[in-house]
Structure 1
Amino acid sequence: MDIKKIHFVGIGGIGISGLARYMQAQGIDISGSDIAVSSSTNYLKSLGVNISIPHNKSNITSQDLVIHSAIIRDNNEELIEAKKKNIPVLSRSEALKIILKQKRVFSVCGAHGKSSTTAMLSSILNKYGAIIGAESKEFGSNVRAKKNKSIVFEADESDGSFINSNPYCAIVTNAEPEHMEYYNYDLDLFHSYYKKFLKKAKTRVINAEDEFLSTLKIKALRLLPSKDIRDIKHYLCDDEPYSSFSLYNNDKFIGDFEVWGFGFHTLSNASLAILASLDDLDSKEIKENLLNYKGIKKRFDIVCNNNRCIMIDDYAHHPTEIKSTLDSIKYYAKLKKIDKLSVIWQPHKYSRTINNIDGFSKCFKGVDKLIILPVWRAYEEPIDIDFYGYFRKYSPLFADEINRNGSKIEILKDNNILDVLDSGLIVGFGAGDITYQMRGLI
Structure 2
Amino acid sequence: MSRVHFIGVGGSGMSAVARLTAAAGHEVSGSDQRVSHYFEALRDAGMNVTIGHDAANVEHVDQVVISTAVRETNPELARARERGIEVVHRSEALARALDDRRLVAVAGSHGKTTTSAMVSHALHGSGIDASFAVGARVFGIEGAVAGGYAGESDVAVVEADESDGSFLRYHPDVAILLNVEPDHLDHYGTVERLHEAFTTFASDCRVLVVCADDPTAMTIARRARGAGVTVVSYGRSDADVVVTDTGWSRGGVDYEVHVPVPGDHMKLNAAAAWAAAVESGADATQAARALESFGGTGRRYQFRGEADGVRVIDDYAHHPTEVAALLGAARAAGAGHLVVLFQPALFSRTQLHAANFANALSIEDAHIIIAGVHGDREDPIPGVTSDSILSHMTVPASSSAVVVEDLREAAHQAVASAHRGDVVLTVGSGPVTYAAEWILEALRARETTDG
TM-score range, shorter-chain basis?
0.7 to 0.9
Quickly say closer, same or farther: Cα 1:31–1:230, change in 2 above 3 A.
closer
1:300-334 deviation per Cα after TM superposition (whole angstroms, max 9, x unaligned): 1122346833222222122211111222111211x
Q: Deviations over 1:368-396 (max 9, x none)?
A: 12323233231431524444431243442
SS in 1 for 2:10: coil
Which of 351, 354, 359 is the equivalent residue of 2:356?
359
Show the counterpart of 2:171.
Answer: 166
Q: How does 1:49-64 map to 2 (within 5 A)?
A: 49-64=47-62
The Cα of 1:42 is off from its aligned counterpart by 3.1
Amino acid at match of 1:132: V
Retained in 2: the 8 A contact 1:371–1:399? no
Contact kept, 8 Å, 1:404 with 1:439, in 2: the verdict is no
1:96–1:164 Cα contact (<8 Å) kept: no
Residue 155 in 1 paired to residue 160 in 2? yes
Compared CA separation, residues 58 and 326, structure 1 to 2 (3 A): closer
**Counterparts of 1:258-297 in structure 2 under 5 Å?**
258-279=258-279, 280-297=281-298
Give the 3-state SS of the residue equivalent to 2:21 in structure 1: helix
- The CA RMSD over aligned residues, in Å, is 2.7
Aligned with residue 413 of structure 2, among 404, 411, 414 = 411
Residue ranges of structure 2 left out of the alignment (5+ in a row): 442-451
Which residue is equivalent to 1:214?
218
Which has the larger strand fraction? 1
Q: Structure 1 residues 171 and 362 mapped into 2: Cα distance closer, same or farther (>3 Å)?
A: same
1:136 paired residue number: 138
Counterpart in the other structure of 2:257: 257
Identity of aligned residues (%): 28
**Partner deviation per Cα, 1:227-273 (whole Å, 9 max, x = no partner):** 554552xxxxxxxxxxxx23124x53252222221221000000000
Q: Point out the more displaced range, 394-403 or 86-95.
A: 394-403
d(CA) in 1 for partners of 2:243, 2:81:
57
For 2:234, which of 223, 246, 255 is the aligned residue?
Answer: 223
Partners of 2:78 and 2:363 in 1: how far apart? 54
Equivalent residue, structure 1, for 2:447: none
Cα distance change of structure 1 residues 176 and 401 upon mapping to structure 2, 3 Å threshold = same
Q: Do the aligned partners of 2:361 and 2:393 also contact (CA within 8 Å) in 1?
A: no
Separation in 1, partners of 2:416, 2:41: 38
Q: CA deviation at 1:80?
A: 4.3
Alignment pair present for 1:298 and 2:299: yes
Partner-residue secondary structure (3-state), 2:202 = helix
**Within the alignment, does 1:376 sit opposite 2:378 as a pair?**
no
Which structure shows the higher helix fraction? Answer: 2
Shift in Å at residue 362 of structure 1?
2.0
What do the CA deviations read for 1:141-171 (whole angstroms, capped 9, x no partner)?
3112324432110010000111112211111
Partner residue, 1:237:
none
Residue 26 in 1 paired to residue 37 in 2? no
- TM-score normalized by structure 1? 0.85
Cross-structure match for 2:448:
none
Q: How far apart are the structure 1 equivalents of 2:50 and 2:58?
A: 11
Q: How many residues align?
A: 415
Contact 2:2–2:62 (Cα < 8 Å) also in 1? yes
Q: Structure 2: how far apart are the matches of 1:323 and 1:305?
A: 23
SS of the equivalent of 2:395 reads helix
- From the superposition, tell whether residues 348 and 57 of structure 1 become closer, same or farther in structure 2 (CA, over 3 Å): closer
TM-score by length of 2: 0.83
Name 1:242's counterpart in structure 2.
none
